């Protein structure tokens, strides 16, 4: 039998949250099925295969959709690890993460369990995302020092993927300092709250400090230090205020008196760059709107400023009306053509006007759609009330003043069966689609829905197959303005089709629905969702798609954002144009969760600035994926920067191209309709960077820089000093002229 022992980290003098004595293991022996004798020490492993714990068993060719599998590891734990620990209290088995539930045995004895199995008293419960760390007494006799120890892991998986997947796993003998950790949170009133937590019963004392630093210069802006003593029952907190309109780094350290060892946690709190909007009216949305002749118009002029405000026009084209109280434009235009008129907004503080053009012709979606979709927050638990609550918040928090107008229901609204006449029925979570549509339209907002060309949607709800026209007619009767049409269940049909290798076979279901939508007397933004198969960007326009998803689903991690945003979009810029957009998926800022359990996006503040900057440069659909009712000031400011949004909504409709790839620095640029350029200088690396933009001028064809503006801060910058500090995973978003 092979012993797998990949790395021995020896005791160091300082520990920065990594363990002083730690052994890591990347692979073990594996057997599918369930046999409790496999928990024991003496097991014949000759028929067992070798499997990594760095990725799921599914991705290593094991197929267990609902069932058990066991991993076994053999590890010699050197006595020197114990001797080097000042505590000599426990040995910790860090089993990383396991999909979905597990029990872990050490030398035949159960040492920990996470989640539960189907036959457990309360039934199956998945806890796939929990970090498992199981402790045993160092001198309790269970750990065999300088000898072979068997770790046996019993895993249960329900639905793909499964097994141990976030390794390497490790065996640790903690020092005092390893049992202490500091969590940093943002408290009320921009206070950084640092909490020192101990896993030990016995009290430990030392010096606890917090500093607010300028990440760029490293300068300490303020600090606080105190002597504390902590144990398992008593944590200690220290807090310090910071300026939430500036990027700062909170650094908190605890140095334990006896050993002199310390632990440090660093954290960058959310910081708001967008300046507050003036009290006077200001128009924030693109001055252009596309509609087909005869189609009803539902549009809301996006104007920020104090309320009450009156929004009016003296030269409105015939057939149109504005509700002066909310700026909702309604009516329709019979004849094709370009209609330009002046809109006025007036409040107690002042008056503003803007020229506005409606292009009545064959194209809609002349700028990328802005709005909300229920999926990234509520997943299948979406309800009509939740849609209404986000729509109300969209208005109350001012997002509607910045052009966010689509309110799109994703999967989870359909009944189990169609009506007797074959029309689609809604489930009990949606009492009335028609009422919902009418109310949204009265506010100048738009209404979106989701379906699949297959028998079932991804969430297992009814799709539109064989009922395409009936469904399009239902959408028309409810006042639907946007359809996301998701491949999903269609895959089963597609697999059986003789021509399924051809592009035509991918086009077919989308063309069919397009024909049905176009028979309706209204404009329905047609959003394809088939993850980029058969290079959809090359034929999306031919099925009159207004946008097409270019990738699989996004999630709120840097890895997902990086792969979708920076890797998978690089070649797609030629395919975006007014009316037809590449869609790299919905936004992952604010409170998301794909279920009833919402949490803050796991992206750091800089990753969120990068996300919105890149999506603006890419002329992407801007669909908010969080609960707007719970949106904090940071997220509102992130989504409501009219200069940043103007890049996304620029009427030239050109998607940014990556102009520079220099190690971890990437520069993406797009031309704008006023002759200027939007430029994003991104640092995708793991450390902060200083970038001299001048270095790339020749490569980008910039002979002499005539103007530079920081769009997030809405401030003009020097054209000679173009040296920028760009934090890890952060961005400098500029508008330049040259």
Are the beta carbons of 93 and 134 closer than 8 angstroms?
Answer: yes
- Smallest separation, CB 455 to ligand GAL (Å): 14
Q: Per rule CB under 6 A, is residue 403 in the interface with ligand GAL?
A: no
Name residues whose C-beta falls within 8 Å of residue 230's C-beta, 6 or more positions apart in sequence. Answer: 180, 196, 197, 198, 203, 204, 205, 236
- Smallest separation, CB 375 to ligand GAL (Å): 5
* Residue closer to ligand GAL, measured from CB, 115 or 161: 161
- Smallest separation, CB 373 to ligand GAL (Å): 8
Residue nearest to ligand GAL (CB): 458
- Tokens at 25, concatenated: 């293991």
Q: Per rule CB under 6 A, is residue 553 in the interface with ligand GAL?
A: yes
What DSSP character marks residue 654?
Answer: P
The H or E element containing residue 79 is helix 79-84
Chosen residue from 411, 544, 583, 606 binding ligand GAL by CB under 6 A: 411
Chosen residue from 238, 248, 449, 458 binding ligand GAL by CB under 6 A: 458
* Residue closer to ligand GAL, measured from CB, 457 or 464: 457
Q: Per rule CB under 6 A, is residue 459 in the interface with ligand GAL?
A: yes
Residue range at the interface with ligand GAL (CB under 6 A); choices 113-121, 218-226, 457-465, 615-623: 457-465
Catalytic residues: 486, 553
Angle at CA of residue 180, ends 176 and 183, nearest 5°? 165
- Smallest separation, CB 410 to ligand GAL (Å): 5
Residue 129: closest CA among 100, 168, 171:
100
- Smallest separation, CB 367 to ligand GAL (Å): 22
* Residue closer to ligand GAL, measured from CB, 289 or 378: 378
Q: Per rule CB under 6 A, is residue 89 in the interface with ligand GAL?
A: no
Q: Per rule CB under 6 A, is residue 457 in the interface with ligand GAL?
A: yes
Chosen residue from 186, 414, 486, 514 binding ligand GAL by CB under 6 A: 486
* Residue closer to ligand GAL, measured from CB, 411 or 468: 411
Residue 691: closest CA among 725, 731, 657:
725
Q: Per rule CB under 6 A, is residue 488 in the interface with ligand GAL?
A: yes
Chosen residue from 134, 283, 375, 482 binding ligand GAL by CB under 6 A: 375
Q: Per rule CB under 6 A, is residue 410 in the interface with ligand GAL?
A: yes
- Smallest separation, CB 407 to ligand GAL (Å): 15
**Alpha-carbon distance 215 to 223, whole Å?**
15
- Smallest separation, CB 553 to ligand GAL (Å): 5
* Residue closer to ligand GAL, measured from CB, 168 or 448: 448
- Smallest separation, CB 594 to ligand GAL (Å): 9
Q: How many helices (H) and strands (E) does the chain have?
A: 13, 47
- Tokens at 690, concatenated: 């200083």
**Alpha-carbon distance 337 to 327, whole Å?**
23
Site for ligand GAL, residues 437 to 456, rule: CB under 6 A: 450
The H or E element containing residue 437 is helix 433-442
The full 3-state SS of 125-149, as one line of letters, equals ECCCCCCEEEEEECCCCCCCECCEE
**Alpha-carbon distance 341 to 638, whole Å?**
31
- Please classify residue 434 by burial: count the beta carbons closer than 10 Å to its beta carbon, then call 0-12 exposed, 13-18 middle and 19+ buried: exposed
- Please classify residue 546 by burial: count the beta carbons closer than 10 Å to its beta carbon, then call 0-12 exposed, 13-18 middle and 19+ buried: buried
* Residue closer to ligand GAL, measured from CB, 248 or 488: 488
* Residue closer to ligand GAL, measured from CB, 93 or 372: 372
Total residues at interface with ligand GAL (CB under 6 A): 11
Site for ligand GAL, residues 510 to 539, rule: CB under 6 A: 529
* Residue closer to ligand GAL, measured from CB, 9 or 533: 533
Q: Per rule CB under 6 A, is residue 583 in the interface with ligand GAL?
A: no
Helix axes 433-442, 384-396, angle to 10 degrees: 0
Residue 489: other Cβ atoms inside 10 A: 21
* Residue closer to ligand GAL, measured from CB, 167 or 412: 412
- Please classify residue 453 by burial: count the beta carbons closer than 10 Å to its beta carbon, then call 0-12 exposed, 13-18 middle and 19+ buried: buried
**Alpha-carbon distance 343 to 353, whole Å?**
5
Return residues touching ligand GAL (CB under 6 A). Answer: 375, 410-411, 450, 457-459, 486, 488, 529, 553
């Amino acid at each position: 039998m092979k012993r797998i022992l990949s790395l021995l980290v020896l005791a160091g003098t300082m520990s920065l949250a990594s363990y002083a004595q730690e052994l890591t293991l990347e692979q073990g022996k594996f057997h599918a099925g369930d046999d409790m004798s496999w928990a024991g020490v003496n097991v014949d492993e000759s028929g067992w295969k070798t499997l990594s714990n760095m990725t799921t068993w599914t991705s290593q060719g094991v197929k267990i959709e609902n069932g058990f599998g066991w991993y076994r590891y053999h590890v010699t734990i050197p006595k020197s690890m114990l001797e080097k620990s000042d505590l000599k209290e426990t040995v910790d088995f860090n089993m990383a993460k396991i999909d979905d539930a597990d029990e872990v045995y050490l030398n035949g004895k159960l040492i920990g369990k996470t989640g539960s199995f189907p036959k457990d008293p309360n039934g199956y419960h998945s806890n796939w995302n929990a970090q498992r760390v199981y402790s045993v007494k160092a001198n309790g006799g269970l750990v065999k020092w300088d000898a072979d120890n068997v770790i046996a892991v019993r895993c249960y998986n329900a639905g793909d993927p499964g097994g141990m997947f976030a390794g390497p796993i490790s065996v640790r003998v903690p020092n005092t300092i390893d049992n202490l950790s500091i969590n940093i949170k943002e408290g009320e009133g921009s206070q950084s709250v640092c909490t020192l937590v101990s896993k030990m019963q016995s009290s430990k004392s030392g010096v606890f400090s917090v500093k607010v630093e300028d990440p760029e210069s490293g300068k300490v802006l303020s600090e606080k230090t105190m002597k504390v003593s902590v144990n398992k029952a008593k944590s200690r907190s220290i807090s310090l205020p910071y300026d939430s309109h500036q990027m700062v780094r909170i650094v908190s350290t605890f140095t334990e008196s006896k050993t002199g060892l310390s632990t440090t946690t660093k954290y960058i709190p959310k910081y708001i760059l967008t300046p507050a909007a003036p009290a006077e009216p200001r128009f924030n949305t693109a001055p252009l709107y596309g509609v087909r002749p005869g189609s009803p118009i539902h549009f809301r002029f996006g104007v920020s400023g104090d309320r009450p405000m009156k929004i009016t026009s003296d030269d409105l084209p015939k057939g149109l009306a504005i509700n002066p109280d909310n700026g909702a434009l309604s009516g329709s235009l019979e004849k094709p053509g370009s209609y330009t008129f002046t809109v006025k907004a007036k409040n107690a503080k002042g008056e503003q006007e803007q020229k506005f053009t409606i292009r009545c012709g064959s194209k809609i979606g002349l700028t990328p759609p802005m709005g909300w979709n229920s999926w990234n927050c509520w997943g299948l638990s979406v309800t009509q009330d939740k849609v209404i609550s986000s729509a109300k918040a969209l208005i109350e928090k001012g997002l509607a003043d910045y052009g966010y107008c689509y309110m799109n229901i994703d999967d989870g609204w359909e009944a189990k069966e169609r009506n007797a006449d074959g029309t689609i029925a809604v489930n009990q979570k949606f009492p009335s689609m028609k009422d919902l549509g009418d109310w949204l339209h009265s506010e100048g907002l738009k209404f979106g829905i989701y379906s699949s060309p297959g028998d079932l949607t991804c969430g297992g709800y009814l799709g539109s197959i064989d009922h395409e026209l009936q469904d399009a007619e239902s959408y028309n009767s409810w006042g639907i303005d946007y359809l996301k049409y998701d491949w999903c269940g269609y895959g089963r049909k597609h697999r059986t089709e003789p021509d399924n290798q051809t592009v035509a076979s991918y086009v077919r279901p989308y063309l069919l629905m397009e024909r049905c939508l176009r028979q309706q007397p209204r404009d329905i933004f047609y959003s394809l969702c088939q993850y980029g198969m058969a290079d959809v960007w090359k034929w999306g326009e031919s099925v009159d798609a207004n946008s097409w998803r270019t990738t699989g689903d996004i999630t709120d991690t840097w890895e997902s954002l990086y792969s979708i945003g920076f890797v998978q979009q690089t070649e797609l810029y030629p395919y975006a144009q007014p009316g037809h957009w590449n869609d790299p998926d919905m936004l992952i800022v604010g409170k998301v969760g794909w279920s009833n359990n919402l949490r803050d996006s796991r992206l750091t503040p800089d990753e969120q600035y990068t996300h919105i900057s890149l999506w603006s440069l890419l002329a992407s659909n801007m669909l908010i994926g969080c609960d707007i009712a719970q949106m904090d000031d940071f997220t509102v400011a992130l989504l409501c920067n009219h200069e940043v949004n103007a890049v996304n909504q620029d009427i030239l409709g050109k998607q940014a191209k990556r102009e520079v790839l220099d190690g971890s620095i990437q520069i993406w640029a797009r031309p704008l309709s006023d002759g200027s350029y939007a430029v994003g200088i991104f640092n995708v690396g793991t450390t902060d960077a200083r970038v001299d933009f001048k270095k790339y001028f020749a490569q980008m064809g910039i002979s002499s820089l005539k103007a530079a503006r920081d769009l997030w801060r809405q401030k003009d910058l020097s054209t000679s000093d173009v040296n920028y500090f760009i934090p890890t995973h952060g961005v400098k978003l500029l508008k330049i002229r040259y």
